[in-house]
Structure 1
Amino acid sequence: MMTNKKLFGSLLVLAALSGATSVAAADIQCLTPIDVTGTEAKIRVHDYSSIVWLKNAPLSDLTVGYGPGSDPKAEISIIDGQYHVARPEGAEIRVDLNPADQGAAMLVRATPAAWADAGTLKDLFDLASLNAALSARIKEMGCDGDATLPFRITAHADEVKWSVDGEPEKALGTIADADVIIVGVYSNHDKANTFMSPGFSLHAHVHVPATGFAGHVVEATLADGAVLQLSAAN
């Protein structure tokens, strides 16, 4: 169920994942290369002049990421190798899938060699608890120093508060009681370059396969048993 905004767009199929168990540290790439075009500094002062056209920024099937669109109203989510470009249209949110004619003012792309199962998560009741759970699990995997890597979570959401951070005003809404995919980048040291959410070591976007919606995660309450995947070592 979606509140505040009526959504429309492509319907996608949820990729079902088997229950995961913890894996050895050697299986995780603690410092995964992140492809960043544009700068956070420009976006923070509402400068959308740097443009990379999406058609010139190829993705693999595993790529995840995010960024503001070159159209100040647009928000880009990259979910499993697909561009989802969301923008408000009146009282609705429109989500375009892989639009060739649109660009990004800043684009963060992370492509793991493969996804490694990293167990399940519980007690996720807000963004802070998600940040803490990721930090703890990544450290468990042996990344006890600098770590920058993509993550992918499949879960049932009790509630996810989302935003489409366009200009002049962001759109806000809530997903409730839905299966979701949450992707993003975790970084405990390269925060400005990778556009981490202020005060956190992650930047997360949510996708609802049943509706096609995608947007930025503001807060998240997820049911226990959320399946976590991290960037696998080469």
Structure 2
Amino acid sequence: MSSKKILVLISGSGSNLQAIIDQVHLSDEPGNIVAVISNKADAYGLERAANAGIETSVVASKGITDRAQYDQALISEIDNYQPDLIVMAGFMRILTPEFVQHYSGKMLNIHPSLLPKYQGLNTHQRAIDANDEEHGASVHFVTEELDGGPVILQAKVPVFSDDQAEDLAARVQDQEHRIYPLAVKWFVNNRLCMQGGKAVLDDVELPEQGYAND
């Protein structure tokens, strides 16, 4: 099986990037990270990539108010690498429909909630405020709907009565570092794809909440 080229988009510390480096890039899986691109020059994830010998690039978004203009610049940079898979790992930008369509079926994202619950920001505090008994993370294909693409895989964590948002975030992030590399492995092994707006694993359409990794 030929190796798949993975490109990772980041904005910050890159902890999910590190998990994918450790569990996919530096393993025997048929997938290698060919580049890490950040919209922020000071993102620590760039250092993580450099330490692993991965090429890095910055397409700075600061001062650019035209989303379409920025996304075109980003597309130009990404297409230099001709990736088979684009992994969004804490990339804090809302993408234009044109960008999403350009890479349809080739982009994954991880979101810190049990989608379709709590799309958008501040998910941990929202789960606490709602007195939820469980919370978690979801890996999904990226579509034009914000945090609305078909879910591939979810992991759940308990919400305790004395939780602060930071406590819950740490518990969720531990699970993110397990499930995101797993979904990437499925993709590079040709087990995972998006067909007809649905996530398909091993030729079986996944349910709305994806595969449960309890």
Q: Give the TM-score of the pair, scaled to structure 2.
A: 0.27
Larger fraction in helix = 2
Higher relative contact order (CA 8 A, sep 6+): 1
